[in-house]
Amino acid sequence: MAVLAWAVVPLGLWLLRAGLCHSQDPADRATFKPQSVLADTEFAMAGTYRGPGNNDTRSNKQLPILLWWSAGLFPHFPGDTERIDCAHSSCLVTRNRKVQLYHRTSAIIFYGTDFRAYEAPLPRLPHQTWALFHEESPMNNYVLSHGPAIRLFNYTATFRRESDYPLTLQWLPTLEYLLTPPAVSLLEKNRWRQAGLAPVLYLQSHCDVPSDRDRYVQELMKYIEVDSYGKCLNNKRLPGRLEDTSTATEEDSQFMSFVARYKFHLALENGLCPDYITEKLWRPMHQGCVPVYRGSPSVADWLPREHSAILIDSFPSPLALAEYLQALDRDDAEYERFLEYKNPGRVTNGRLLEALQSREWGVSDMSKPNYLNGFECFVCNKENQRLTAQRAQRRAPATHTALPPRMADNSHMGCPLPSPGYSGIEDIPDNDSWIQTWPQDYWQSLDQAEGLESLIRHNESDPGLLWHHIQRLTARRTARH
């Protein structure tokens, strides 16, 4: 087998490049699509740092290898291989797939959006763990929302709080970001209302998404005025120079002060999943506008205080929501209550404060690692612990036990079947583009998850056999019915 040939590749030739000043390749950045709040300069810090608890004196040759299967996300530059000295121990990390079956390769790291069952590294070796990094929308890969797929991973970094390395607040840079700048005064907001601005802003250019948000907003628009500037449900043009830059204006100060005049911002995520919360929620709060939110069903757990966002799902209908927004539009004192969190000391949610305080990664914070490097080190330390325990157990089985196996489950992703943004599924015509896309995508993803699990159970080496396994499973299911 090819494993033997690869085993003699002289890994010692890989040079230690610690100490080099790193900068990120723009091509890599394009693949990663870092959030806009993540400063470019932060990538300059992507190099190694040695944690205070790391007295790992092993040479590169002796370190376990972590293989980035999603090469485009490899968080080091330049080169394909790097030594990382983490808080407690060290590893070699590489994106060179030649080491896939190498005995020293102890973990394989995947980026969720790129993860494809038909490209999985097979055969799956019993000594290797799989690690999943997925901070993006559930819509990018519903395969991971199915039990048979997520259970293949031993470590996860996802937006869910139940993940091993949770990224729930990835879009909230700091507490300060919520508190500043101050909101546009109500006096001024009311003047803009009189000058013709609608009470509600919608700004969306990604229209065909699993959450089917446009169907809801379209219904809402029947009952309350909404200014919609994006491609979806567009009914208004941005003024002056903002029009030309409408795709790249998110952090433009002129654009920010324009949208900050609105009382309410519609803030609907593209996919619905517990703890999938993006800038859609935090940006309006930063700007001092009240988000009218649909996304994570448990979002209230993370809000700065009670009464700081309006949750679409707590209203029985778009009409009821519209009536509530109209009443708030007329009631200044009641509206102001929603902006109370902007005042000093008024963020009362202990869970939010604690999570911001204790997370080890930073967003635009040079003094902390970014979460990609942070997760890489999390895996490195876990793998070193596991290998140490294994060695101790091999040497003295009577006195040492190996660490118990660990694997992820649906609480690490587990996003639900997409459902219509408004109305029952039976009311939607067959030729509707949402119904032709997302429910199917979800169920086909389940086939792929089961197919991959079957490939691994049968110790297949060729991921191309995925379709064959899916056919077999489908035939068996049909025969049973």
**How many residues interact with ligand NAG (rule CB under 6 A)?**
16
Q: How far is the CB of 253 from ligand NAG (least distance, A)?
A: 40
When asked if residue 152 is in the footprint of ligand NAG (CB under 6 A), the reply is yes
When asked if residue 56 is in the footprint of ligand NAG (CB under 6 A), the reply is yes
Stretch in the footprint of ligand NAG (CB under 6 A) among 69-77, 149-157, 162-170, 248-256:
149-157
When asked if residue 106 is in the footprint of ligand NAG (CB under 6 A), the reply is no
When asked if residue 123 is in the footprint of ligand NAG (CB under 6 A), the reply is yes
Polymer length in residues for the chain: 481
Q: How far is the CB of 68 from ligand NAG (least distance, A)?
A: 18
Stretch in the footprint of ligand NAG (CB under 6 A) among 253-261, 314-322, 354-362, 405-413:
405-413
When asked if residue 428 is in the footprint of ligand NAG (CB under 6 A), the reply is no
CB within 8 Å of 42: residues ≥ 6 apart: 362, 364, 365, 366, 370
Place of tokens 């709040």: 37
When asked if residue 413 is in the footprint of ligand NAG (CB under 6 A), the reply is no
Q: Which is nearer to ligand NAG, 154 or 170 (CB)?
A: 154
Residue 275, amino acid: D
Pairing of strands 81-85, 264-268: unpaired
DSSP code of residue 18: T
Q: How far is the CB of 136 from ligand NAG (least distance, A)?
A: 23
When asked if residue 90 is in the footprint of ligand NAG (CB under 6 A), the reply is no
Out of 431, 478, 480, 481, the only residue in the binding site for ligand NAG (CB under 6 A) is 431
DSSP code of residue 260: T
Out of 314, 459, 471, 474, the only residue in the binding site for ligand NAG (CB under 6 A) is 459
Q: Which is nearer to ligand NAG, 81 or 154 (CB)?
A: 154
When asked if residue 450 is in the footprint of ligand NAG (CB under 6 A), the reply is no
Stretch in the footprint of ligand NAG (CB under 6 A) among 10-18, 186-194, 313-321, 403-411:
403-411
DSSP code of residue 125: P
Place of tokens 């876990």: 382
Q: Within a 10 A sphere around the Cβ of 444, how many other Cβ atoms?
A: 13
CA–CA distance, 147 with 155 (Å, rounded to integer) = 14
Q: Which is nearer to ligand NAG, 326 or 393 (CB)?
A: 393
- CA neighbor of 450 nearest in space, from 204, 145, 167: 145
Q: Which is nearer to ligand NAG, 54 or 349 (CB)?
A: 54
Q: Within a 10 A sphere around the Cβ of 369, how many other Cβ atoms?
A: 22
When asked if residue 100 is in the footprint of ligand NAG (CB under 6 A), the reply is no
CB within 8 Å of 377: residues ≥ 6 apart: 51, 84, 86, 87, 369
Q: Which is nearer to ligand NAG, 28 or 212 (CB)?
A: 212
- CA 147 vs CA 142, 155, 157, 408: distances in Å: 11, 14, 16, 9
Stretch in the footprint of ligand NAG (CB under 6 A) among 102-110, 147-155, 246-254, 466-474:
147-155
Q: How far is the CB of 268 from ligand NAG (least distance, A)?
A: 21
Q: Which is nearer to ligand NAG, 89 or 156 (CB)?
A: 89
CA–CA distance, 363 with 418 (Å, rounded to integer) = 30
Q: Within a 10 A sphere around the Cβ of 462, how many other Cβ atoms?
A: 11
When asked if residue 154 is in the footprint of ligand NAG (CB under 6 A), the reply is yes
Burial class, 88, CB count within 10 angstroms (exposed 0-12 / middle 13-18 / buried 19+): middle
CA–CA distance, 289 with 68 (Å, rounded to integer) = 41
DSSP three-state, residue 120? coil
Q: How far is the CB of 128 from ligand NAG (least distance, A)?
A: 8
Q: Which is nearer to ligand NAG, 393 or 461 (CB)?
A: 461
CB within 8 Å of 424: residues ≥ 6 apart: none
Contacts to ligand NAG from residues 241-300, by CB under 6 A:
none
What character string, x for contact with ligand NAG (CB under 6 A) and - otherwise, covers 353-392?
---------------------------------x------
CA–CA distance, 170 with 156 (Å, rounded to integer) = 15
Closest residue to ligand NAG, Cβ-based? 405
- CA 379 vs CA 71, 359, 385, 401, 423: distances in Å: 17, 16, 10, 21, 44
Q: Which is nearer to ligand NAG, 149 or 224 (CB)?
A: 149
When asked if residue 129 is in the footprint of ligand NAG (CB under 6 A), the reply is yes
With contact defined as beta carbons under 8 Å apart, do 141 and 442 qualify? no
When asked if residue 55 is in the footprint of ligand NAG (CB under 6 A), the reply is yes
CB within 8 Å of 168: residues ≥ 6 apart: 159, 160, 161, 275, 277, 302, 355
Q: How far is the CB of 318 from ligand NAG (least distance, A)?
A: 22
DSSP code of residue 147: H
Q: How far is the CB of 126 from ligand NAG (least distance, A)?
A: 7
Pairing of strands 81-85, 90-94: antiparallel
Residue 260: half-sphere exposure toward Cβ, Cα within 13 Å? 21
Stretch in the footprint of ligand NAG (CB under 6 A) among 203-211, 252-260, 297-305, 400-408:
400-408
When asked if residue 407 is in the footprint of ligand NAG (CB under 6 A), the reply is yes
Point out which residues bind ligand NAG (CB under 6 A).
55-56, 89, 123, 129, 151-152, 154, 386, 405-407, 429, 431, 459, 461
